[in-house]
Structure 1
Amino acid sequence: MRPVDLSAFMEQLARMSGQAILPFFRTRLNVIDKASAQSGRFDPVTEADRAAETVIRRQIRATFPGHGILGEEFETENAGAEYLWVIDPIDGTRAFICGLPVWGTLIGLMRNGDPVMGVMHQPYTGELFFGDGRIAQLRGAQGSRDLRTRDCGGLAEAHLMTTDPRLFAEGDRPRYARVEAAAKMTRYGADCYAYAMLAAGHVDLVIESGLQPYDIVALIPIIEGAGGVVSDWEGGSAKNGGRILAAATPALHAAALALLREG
């Protein structure tokens, strides 16, 4: 199947999942905490998360029965397949619960273990960010436009985002703090939306930890397609999640990575 067909199918998945999600947004939700009592953290899931992933899985099974599926809310299917769909139905569930439109649906596609295509869809704003590692686009009511990251010139001019600095492990906080101290401006929150804004040229660095593959796989082809760089804190592949650094340019990535690697 040609890439254009997969791209169209991925966009279809995003639109269908958005139709499943929006009736729940800014309503009185039934929120379940998936975390154990011993963890001391809040890990929410809503009816909207499960409804969206159910729709996406059903459509993938019907169209590509030989493909695998890895999602946040249900068990992995056919993990060893050549093509593996990686799904986070609502990345930013806390924002969703609070009625803030800085969440999105992540749908990524891996082939032989490598991310090759991804979308981040924000159905409330009607924005769909697409990338295949070579190009990145914003598709919406106003049509499509190509995305390019910004060359901010260096760390001293960089706009940095992280979801919440309290999420870093104790040993990682000083490393992150060095980058924050060097950046021009820092904002917290936004989850996947921060990465989309990096691809669009408004944010220059995103630094996070504790990510799962479904939190990042879809975003890798978008960031790279827009000219950015994304890796783990050791400079390796980000596809397995963990501690993530995304940067607008290779030079900015190298500068931030050097601070993160310091003892």
Structure 2
Amino acid sequence: MTALPAAFPRDAVLEAAMAAADVARTVVLPFFRRGVRADEKSDASPVTIADRTAERAIRAVLSERLPGFGVMGEEFGLERGESPYRWVVDPVDGTRAFLTGRPTFGTLIALLHDNVPVLGVIDQPVTGERWIGLRGETTRYMSALPGTPATRACADVGHAELSCTAPEILDAPHRPGFDVLAAAVRRTSWGGDCYAYGLLALGQIDIIAECTMKIWDWAALVPVVEGAGGRMTDWSGQPLRADGDGTVLAVGDGALLPRVTGLLSRGIAIK
């Protein structure tokens, strides 16, 4: 694994991330299955009082503990963008799941150094599960539920479990590629948002392929998946970037990567 930056304030960063995830749980849980109203944003995605209140609380904790770090959130944009360290926050990843009472949403907290994710937290407030990924270290899984943070061996696409949040996130240019991949795997399941990536890190899922993803959707996932033994790239196998094409691919077994990217590109080529 790649090492952390020199003089990285590891303990302070972890403590800040844990405190932010704790306060997000406190804010989000009282709204769960309470019939909260959703507003529609400019991209037609829903947002609720839980999203906005949780992001404000997360920002307050992170800014108090590490005031020199930048913060970017889905709901309230970027502060202190000149810092080489930048928190990236999605207070409720999976707002549709949250609105319909399904505990597959999560709070995502990432830390980037020079635009590369070095820390990621996936927190599921309802089930009490938390995944913590830190570059160069093995992913940790904090939960009373069973699970070991280690991806499973699965080098054969034909034996793989594929997951995607919803068909509608597959944009038209990339849908043919997904269909080719789906025809090659053992099974395809829908739903999950960030929770699916936590399950991949526990060895329950082998492949996740999604589109239209923003940096706050994927930044926290990278250290978690890679710290459990997996790989995350775009659909062409290149590192994820904030200015990328929005495709995200996660595989539990790195041996799957060339075969999966080949199938995805073949579908795009023949569309």
Which TM-score tier does this pair reach, normalised by the shorter chain? over 0.9
Unaligned runs of 5+ in 2: 1-7
Match of 1:254 in 2: 258
Quick one: which of 243, 246, 258 aligns to 2:247? 243
Aligned residue type for 1:33 = E
Per-residue Cα deviation, 1:84-137 (whole angstroms, up to 9, x for no partner): 000000000000000000000000000122100010000110000111133111
C-alpha displacement of 1:171? 2.1
Are 2:155 and 2:253, in contact at CA under 8 Å, matched by a contact in 1?
Answer: no
Residues of 2 paired with 1:247 and 1:224: CA distance? Answer: 9
* Counterpart position of 1:39: none
Say which of 105, 108, 111 aligns to 2:107.
105
Unaligned runs of 5+ in 1: 37-41
| Distance (Å, rounded) in 2 between the aligned partners of 1:46 and 1:234 | 34
2:138 alignment partner in structure 1: 135
**Counterparts of 2:176 and 2:106 in 1: how far apart (Å)?**
29
SS of structure 1 residue aligned to 2:55: helix
- Give the alignment's TM-score, normalised by structure 2: 0.91
Kept after mapping to 1: 8 A contact 2:107/2:123: yes
CA distance in 2, matches of 1:142, 1:28: 27
Preserved contact between residue 89 and residue 106 of structure 1 (Cα < 8 Å): yes
Query: Equivalent residues in 2 for 1:74-85 (5 A)?
Result: 74-85=76-87
| Alignment-derived partner of residue 55 in structure 2 | 53
Same amino acid, percent of matched pairs: 38
CA contact (8 A) 2:16 2:65 kept: no
Matched position secondary structure for 2:162: strand
Partner SS for 1:210: coil
- TM-score with structure 1 setting the length: 0.94
How many residues align? The count is: 257
Moved runs in structure 1, 4+ residues, more than 4 A?
none
Q: 1:148 to 1:35 in 2, by over 3 A?
A: same
Offset from partner CA, 1:30-66 (integer Å, 9 cap, x none): 2101136xxxxx3100000011000010111111111
Deviation of the 1:172 alpha carbon: 1.1
1:16 corresponds in structure 2 to 23
The answer (yes or no) to whether the contact 1:147–1:201 under 8 Å persists in 2 is: yes
Residue of structure 1 in register with 2:121 after alignment: 119
Name the CA distance, whole Å, in 1 between partners of 2:254 and 2:93.
26
Measure the CA separation in 2 of the matches of 1:195 and 1:105: 13
